[in-house]
Amino acid sequence: MPADPVALTRDLVRCPSVTPAEGGALAFLERTLTAAGFAVHRTTFREPGAADVENLYARIGTVAPHLVFAGHTDVVPPGTESAWKHPPFSGEVMDGTLYGRGAVDMKGGIACAIAAVIDHLAANGGKPKGSVSFLITGDEEGIAVNGTIKLLKWVAERGEKFDHCILAEPSNVETLGDTIKIGRRGSLNGHLIVRGKQGHVAYPQRADNPIRGLVALVAALNAEPIDKGTAHFPPSHLEFTSVDVGNKTVNLIPGEARARFNIRFNDLHTLDSLKELIEQRAAKAAGGKIDFAFEWEPSNAGVFVTQPGPFTELVANAVAEVSGRKPELSTSGGTSDARFITAYCPVVEFGLVGQTMHQVDERVPVAELHALTAVYRKIIDRYFA
Q: Which is nearer to Zn ion, 148 or 373 (CB)?
A: 148
CA 350: distance to chain centroid?
12
Shortest Å, Cβ 169 to Zn ion: 5
What is the number of other CB atoms lying within 10 angstroms of the CB of residue 63? 9
Shortest Å, Cβ 142 to Zn ion: 11
CA distance 1 to 10: 18
Shortest Å, Cβ 348 to Zn ion: 15
Q: Which is nearer to Zn ion, 106 or 192 (CB)?
A: 106
Nearest residue to the partner Zn ion, using Cβ: 105
Is residue 53 at the binding interface for Zn ion, with CB under 5 A as the rule?
no
Q: What is the DSSP letter of 265?
A: E
Q: What is the DSSP letter of 61?
A: -
Q: Which is nearer to Zn ion, 169 or 256 (CB)?
A: 169
Name the segment binding Zn ion (CB under 5 A); options: 92-100, 102-110, 314-322, 368-376. 102-110
Shortest Å, Cβ 211 to Zn ion: 41
- Give me the amino acid identity at 353: V
CA distance 27 to 22: 8
Q: Which is nearer to Zn ion, 33 or 106 (CB)?
A: 106
The burial class, CB within 10 Å (0-12 / 13-18 / 19+), for 155 is buried
Please list the helix, strand and coil fractions of the chain in percent, rounded to the nearest 5, in that order.
Answer: 30, 25, 45
Is residue 368 at the binding interface for Zn ion, with CB under 5 A as the rule?
no
Of positions 11, 22, 105, 368, contacts Zn ion by CB under 5 A: 105
Q: Which is nearer to Zn ion, 106 or 319 (CB)?
A: 106
263: three-class secondary structure by DSSP: strand
Q: Which is nearer to Zn ion, 111 or 226 (CB)?
A: 111
Is 276 annotated in the active site?
Answer: no
Query: Which parts of 3-32 interact with Zn ion (CB under 5 A)?
Result: none
CA distance 317 to 372: 13
Query: Which parts of 268-287 interact with Zn ion (CB under 5 A)?
Result: none
Is 368 annotated in the active site?
Answer: no
Shortest Å, Cβ 21 to Zn ion: 16
CA distance 157 to 210: 51
CA distance 301 to 337: 9
Is residue 106 at the binding interface for Zn ion, with CB under 5 A as the rule?
yes
Is the Cβ–Cβ distance between 177 and 319 less than 8 Å?
yes
The mark string for 132-171 relative to Zn ion (x by CB under 5 A, - otherwise) is -------------------------------------x--
The burial class, CB within 10 Å (0-12 / 13-18 / 19+), for 49 is exposed
Q: What is the CB-side half-sphere exposure of residue 224 using CA atoms within 13 A?
A: 12
Shortest Å, Cβ 181 to Zn ion: 12
CA distance 267 to 302: 9
Q: Which is nearer to Zn ion, 104 or 253 (CB)?
A: 104
Q: Which residues contact 248 (CB under 8 A, 6 or more apart)?
A: none
Shortest Å, Cβ 38 to Zn ion: 22
- 11, 140, 141, 337: the catalytic one is 140
Judged by CB under 5 A, the number of residues near Zn ion is 3
Query: Which parts of 164-203 interact with Zn ion (CB under 5 A)?
Result: 169
- 22, 54, 74, 141: the catalytic one is 74
Q: What is the DSSP letter of 341?
A: H
Task: Just list the catalytic residues.
Answer: 74, 140
Q: Which residues bind Zn ion (CB under 5 A)?
A: 105-106, 169
